[in-house]
Chains A and B, each alone.
Chain A
Amino acid sequence: MNSAATQSTVLPDAPTPRPRFWQGRTGAQKVFVLSALTPMILYVAFWSLLPIVWAAALAFFDYSARRQGGVVLGLGGDNPFVGLQHFRNMLNFSPEAPLEVRLFHISVKTTLMFAFLIVPLNLMITLPLAAMIESVHNRLRLGLRTIFFLPVVTSSVGVAIMWGYILHPQRGLLNAGLGSVMGRMVAINWTGDPSLIIGPIPVALIAVIIAYLWQDIGYNLIIFIAALQGIPESIRDAAIMDGATGITMFRHITLPLLRPTILLAAILTMISAFQVFDIFQVMTRGGPDNQTRVLTFDIYDNAFRFQNMGWAAATSVVLFLIVLAISLLQNRMLRSEWEY
């Protein structure tokens, strides 16, 4: 990042870079690069560029794979061009809006709620945990890292099934535990009762959040442990000499030094939170009453269950714009962070 910044400040004064290409390269090297790159570019054009362009085009058509449609990519004909209709529909907030529009609004709200809850919860767990793990001696540290890393490499379907069983209303571990603490039967339907809501947050969404956090914390944990190990021993020793103990040290030394890492981790966590699908699909299928319907699930549902691919593509563009906005924000924040 630093070198890119210096480069861009140097380049304007330097002569145009174009002649530099190929300079000093022999014919054999040109042949090598061309013979490797040409198939790659064709491949990328077909499997990467075409889907992107196609997805953007679909967003402006009323498209279903079941209809014949026009000659080019099946667009046109029975799959008519509708212009900005999908996007205009998204802004229809009246209660009489079509079902898919209302579901879209619900899923945007749920997705935002999920992502903005996941990030602080994740950091509140992973940061202190990483500091604690880093403070114990070597072999124990490796063992702990392995334990917290296990859920990261477990298939999300497995994670959803395991947690679904823990949260099972009659046979689950959580209700049994609560029951034995409270001395009576507890049969809370964590993932299936739409009337369970805490403030604006449905309990079913909290259940998915818990399962996802359990699976996901190992990842940031690793990043933070690595960053903590990068803090020079001398800084820490100086702080200890000045009488800093665990918590003061964490607050006044560790946290400020980790700021760039924390910011990066927060944004990566948020970007991936927007794209979670598996756990939602397996644990709750968007239910109860669409309380855990997220954008990724909405896109999948529209595209492959209702064959409403034009609309689904349009909503996927919205997902892309959200992720893009966060990425750009990340870029700006990180740049100022590094310059400091």
Chain B
Amino acid sequence: MATITFRPARKSEQRLRFGRLAVYVFLLVGSLIALLPFVWMILASLKTGPEVRQIPPSFWPEAPTLDNYRTILTDPTLPLSLFYRNSAIIAISNVILAVGTSALFGYIFAKFDFPGKRALFWFIVATMMIPFQVTMIPGYLILAKLGLINKLTGLIIGSAFNAFGIFLVRQFALSIPGEMLDAARVDGASEWRIFWSIALPQLGPALATLGMMTFMWNWNAYLWPLIVLTEQNKRTLPIILNWYSTQHSNQIQLTMAASVLVIIPILFVFLLTQRWIVRGMTLSGMKG
């Protein structure tokens, strides 16, 4: 067997080695392109105003300085900690809501039969197909009627129902053995107790994935907060970043420093939890 295939294998081996090299060069160039915008942003944030304005621009800062960061962190019109707080309140509240409700309803959809189950599940899946731009107009009108425009609550109150989350948890909950639940019933555990102590621990990985993805979506969300939060001190980081960048279009070094402060810290959080997000995306084929 080995002798029959030896010759073609060796011939392709040489071609493979050249191919290998090409692959590595390609990947190197590709990853440089992927990183370049980040690098360009960070380098610009370390330059002085005159250096950024010179034509043609320099790549490496001639005299690296942290002045831009000092300017931003002491700028009274830009209380970054307030905006971080707004973003965090909204994102964390929505994570708690989405994880809690999705766990309960995903579990119920996986493990119970009830009249109208099919129709309800169909409706949940169907809501995922409706573009946000369709429901944002009535969504805004509802919040306006409830007096929740310019309130952080307005961005939280409607998010307890998460179709994606219910779908994701249901897929996981299907694999919880029914005998396990029945055994607990025989032992006299209440249904809520069974959900809490038996189902929930099994759903851990799914909930971690859902939590991380919900956090990411909410943290980066732009359109909905843009509509609902129009008062400056209620705004979230992406909106503030855009506002600051248009205010300082002639001082790109400041915009870039602000971008670094807004983008980079959270990238570390995502890197640490990368596998949960990656898993959610490959499992669901969804990115929000």
Contact = CB atoms under 8 A, between A and B. Distances in A.
A270 interface: no
A47 B282 contact: no
Chain B contact patch, size range: 35 or more
A205 interface: no
Contacts of B92: none
A144 interface: yes
B158 to A, nearest CB: 4
Best-buried of A47, A144, A272 by chain B (most CB within 10 Å): A47
Interface in B22-59: 23-24, 26-27, 30-31, 33-38, 40-41, 44, 52-53, 55-57, 59
Contacts of B133: 275, 277, 295-296, 299-300, 316, 319
A144 B112 contact: no
A155 B220 contact: yes
Contact of A163 (B37, B127, B144, B285): B37
Contacts of A312: 137
A84 interface: no
B130 A52 contact: yes
15 contacts: A40-B101, A40-B105, A47-B161, A55-B138, A58-B138, A148-B30, A150-B38, A157-B239, A165-B252, A222-B278, A278-B223, A282-B245, A296-B133, A299-B137, A300-B133
Contacts of B282: 222-223, 226
B79 interface: no
B222 interface: yes
Nearest to B246: A282
Interface in B112-160: 112-115, 117, 120, 123-124, 127, 129-142, 144, 158, 160
Interface in A9-55: 18, 20-23, 25-26, 28-29, 31-33, 36-37, 40-41, 43-44, 46-52, 54-55
A275 B23 CA distance: 34
Interface in B59-111: 59, 101, 104-105, 108
Given A165-B256, A171-B55, A299-B133, A277 B115 contact: no
Interface string A176-209: 1001100001000000000000000000000000
Interface string A135-169: 11000000011111111111111111111111010
A154 B263 contact: yes
Interface of A: 18, 20-23, 25-26, 28-29, 31-33, 36-37, 40-41, 43-44, 46-52, 54-55, 58, 65, 73-74, 129, 132-133, 135-136, 144-166, 168, 170-173, 175-176, 179-180, 185, 214, 218-219, 222-223, 226, 240-247, 264-265, 268, 272, 274-275, 277-278, 281-282, 295-296, 299-300, 303-304, 309, 312-313, 316-317, 319-320, 323-324, 327
A155 B34 CA distance: 15
Contact of B191 (A32, A129, A281): A32
B114 A37 contact: yes
A243 B142 contact: no
A151 B37 CA distance: 9
B30 A129 contact: yes
Contacts, number: 270
A28 B31 contact: no
A124 B184 CA distance: 53
A219 B287 CA distance: 8
B142 A50 contact: yes
Contacts of A316: 131, 133-134, 137
Interface of B: 5, 8-9, 11-12, 15-16, 19, 23-24, 26-27, 30-31, 33-38, 40-41, 44, 52-53, 55-57, 59, 101, 104-105, 108, 112-115, 117, 120, 123-124, 127, 129-142, 144, 158, 160-161, 185, 190-192, 195, 216, 219-220, 222-223, 227, 237-239, 241-242, 245, 252, 255-256, 259, 262-263, 266-267, 270-271, 274, 277-278, 281-282, 285-287
Best-buried of B56, B104, B105, B266 by chain A (most CB within 10 Å): B56
Given A25-B113, A155-B238, A324-B129, A277 B274 contact: no
Given A40-B161, A240-B12, A319 B281 contact: no
Contacts of B55: 170-171, 185
Contact of A161 (B30, B158, B259): B259
Nearest to A47: B158
A136 B281 CA distance: 22
Given A243-B12, A316-B137, A153 B113 contact: no
B114 A22 contact: yes
Question: Closest 10 A-B residue pairs measured CB to CB?
Answer: A32-B191, A54-B138, A243-B8, A51-B138, A51-B135, A157-B238, A155-B220, A153-B270, A162-B37, A246-B19
A50 B138 contact: yes
Contacts of A150: 34-35, 38, 267, 271
A136 B105 CA distance: 42
B8 A242 contact: yes
Nearest to B24: A136
Contacts of B5: 241
